[in-house]
Amino acid sequence: MSAQKLLISTIDERITTLLTFVQKQAKRNPEVVFGDGVERSRDSPQLRAFCRELAADSIVLLKNKDNILPLRPPTQQKSLNIAVIGPNAKDRVISGGGSAALKATYVVTPWEGIKSAAPPGSTVRYHIGCYGKHIPNKIISCLIPPAAHKYLPTLENFLKTPNDQPGWLCTFFNNDKDGDISKPVQSFVLNDTRIKLNDFLPEGLTENWSIKLQGRLTMPTTGIYELGLTVAGKTA
């Protein structure tokens, strides 16, 4: 637009045409566009095989010394000594953020996949790599320091509700005239610690309301952890 080859009025016209077409098709097929409001996923051996092939074909391998990759079936390969290094090897980094975030039917981390594919008798070791902090006689392994990343990794895989369900309990409350929470309006079990309320609120909320998130956090190893909280609004 700075070159004056494209005008705002032209963009508005094209976008209006596109959105009009989208709305027309949505009205013709409401059961496809809106459905029944229940989130579902499709999972089958055929779809899993297709997704694995698609992911494998997208990998760019820079150097494959001695043809170590791919790991061959146990009957064709002797035991190996494998080092897995990097903070994301054990994290379930499977999708983008914002509107691109989708829940997967199942997740296999690089660490889990390598361990399961390694031939019998193999030694598989892990190290967090560049994000470790060393002090005398002790290693403090932060999840991911804020100096390197904007946010720390999410914790939903280590949370349990008071009823021992995976995730944590999210309860909505209305606030009384003094600002204190009153009786609960509705509760949900969430399997994600990234909570966005811009497109969802339960019925029955007044103008002033609060949510309470409750869960039991159990980490896989003993150590010192860095926890973070990012919120738009007030929190306690």
- pTM of the predicted model as reported, rounded to 2 decimal places: 0.55
Q: Are 139 and 133 in contact (CB under 8 A)?
A: yes
Which helix (H) or strand (E) element contains residue 116? helix 110-117
Residues in the chain, how many?
Answer: 236
Q: Are 43 and 105 in contact (CB under 8 A)?
A: yes
- First vs last Cα of the chain: how many Å apart? 46
Q: What is the pLDDT along the chain (236 residues), one digit of tens a residue?
A: 566 778 888 999 999 999 999 889 888 888 877 777 777 788 899 999 998 899 888 887 778 888 777 777 656 667 888 999 887 788 777 766 566 667 778 888 889 999 988 888 889 999 877 754 433 333 333 343 434 556 677 888 899 998 899 999 999 999 888 778 878 899 999 888 888 777 678 888 888 888 999 999 999 888 888 888 888 877 77
Domain ranges in the chain are: 45-130, 132-236
